[in-house]
Amino acid sequence: MPVQASIGTTPAPKLENMEYGARFSTFLNGIDFSLCALQTWNKMPVFTSEVQAGTILMTGQYRRMTMVGADVSLPVGQFVLRGEGAQYFDEAQSPAAGTDIPRSGTANALLGIDWYAGNDWNLSAQYSYKYIEDFDATMSGKQHTHMGTFRISKSMLNNTLSLQSFAYMDLTDGGIYNRFSADYALNDQMHLMLGYDLFHADKGMFQMYAHNSEYWLKLKYNF
């Protein structure tokens, strides 16, 4: 069955649709932390779907939501430990086919660690978790979502060559997107970049990209 999708209408540029928030940060001896609050719109549209004349029509919708959160960073020798937490109120959720957009509060958490190992090596890993509070059959996603990322990088040749592997891991359904890249500075303005994007998944968020693994080559000019 063919699918027709549209992003939908973004919020009108009116004063009543403005986004606003506040952030309080403090930097103490050995620890940094901040508190924040934001009245915003979901930046990625939530899609509703319906069948018309043998075609699935998908329309993106934008909805208001409120967020409060906090984060902390703690250096320990060569390591930096990070933590973040946020509560989203009345967040729009992906609906099941033929239903209106459901709303629910969600709890979000992230833990991370960075290792500055010396000799221009850097390793970073983080784990994120999302919990949908009032999950029911009108929602098409999962109540518990687990994600992880891992990055390892190395600078060489007097910092003119940077090698990196950066991976997103779907810990809920299994699956991975890993970008291997090399960035060589030809001069102060031109960079030659090449790499390989690896997708592997049998289900979950990366399944639709399972056959999209590719090599790529880029030339970047800064002016």
> Which stretch of 39-43, 57-61, 177-181, 218-222 has the lowest confidence by average pLDDT?
57-61
Q: Which residue in the block uniquely carries the two structure tokens 């699918």?
A: 3
Cα–Cα distance between 47 and 141 in angstroms, integer?
12
Report which secondary-structure segment, H or E, holds 58.
strand 55-61
Whether 128 is covered by a domain: the verdict is no
Whether 178 is covered by a domain: the verdict is yes
Whether 141 is covered by a domain: the verdict is no
Say if residue 219 is exposed, middle or buried (CB neighbours under 10 Å; 0-12, 13-18, 19+). exposed
Band (pLDDT 50/70/90 cuts) for residue 122 is very high
Whether 116 is covered by a domain: the verdict is no
86: CB partners within 8 A, 6+ apart: 67, 68, 69, 70, 107, 108, 109
Whether 120 is covered by a domain: the verdict is no
| 98 against 183, higher pLDDT | 183
Decide if pLDDT at 20 tops 90.
yes
Whether 76 is covered by a domain: the verdict is no
Whether 179 is covered by a domain: the verdict is yes
Q: Give 145-192 pLDDT, tens digit per residue.
A: 999 999 999 999 999 999 999 999 999 999 999 999 999 999 989 999
Whether 89 is covered by a domain: the verdict is no
Contact 131, 146 (CB under 8 A): no
Looking at every residue in the chain, the average pLDDT score rounds to: 91
106: CB partners within 8 A, 6+ apart: 87, 88, 91, 130, 131, 132, 133
Contact 19, 41 (CB under 8 A): yes
Side chain identity, residue 205: M
183: CB partners within 8 A, 6+ apart: 161, 162, 164, 191, 192, 193
Cα–Cα distance between 220 and 183 in angstroms, integer?
10
At 143 the pLDDT is 93
Q: Which domain holds residue 210?
A: 162-223
Domain count, the chain: 1
Contact 62, 45 (CB under 8 A): yes
Cα–Cα distance between 141 and 72 in angstroms, integer?
29
Question: Helix %, strand %, coil % for the chain, to 5?
Answer: 5, 65, 30
